[in-house]
Amino acid sequence: MKSFYIDYPQEKIDDYQHAYRCIFCKIPTTIIFGLLENHSENCVYRNKQGKSAQLEAKLKPHIERFNESLTDEVD
């Protein structure tokens, strides 16, 4: 199962010699650290990958219901 996301497009950060950042949300790779949630919430890459990640999350019982607003439990 995929747990690290490192295949996002990156660009060099001018001020640093060996630093790169996500080309969409401009967050450094050292901060993202391969985790999807470390991208900006409106990052194009995050939103694209997030759709498949949400499907995986449904299979994990220990995951908190982060999308509780979407589930409409009446009981």
By CB under 5 A, name the binding residues for Zn ion.
Answer: 22, 24-25, 39, 43, 45
Residue 24 or residue 69: which is nearer to Zn ion going by CB? 24
Residue 50 or residue 57: which is nearer to Zn ion going by CB? 50
**What are the φ and ψ backbone dihedral angles of 65, each rounded to 5 degrees?**
-80, 85
CB of 52 to Zn ion, least distance (A): 16
* DSSP for residue 73: -
CB of 66 to Zn ion, least distance (A): 18
| First CA to last CA distance, the chain | 33
Residue 7 or residue 56: which is nearer to Zn ion going by CB? 7
Across 1-75, the runs of DSSP E, i.e. the strands, are 10-12, 20-22
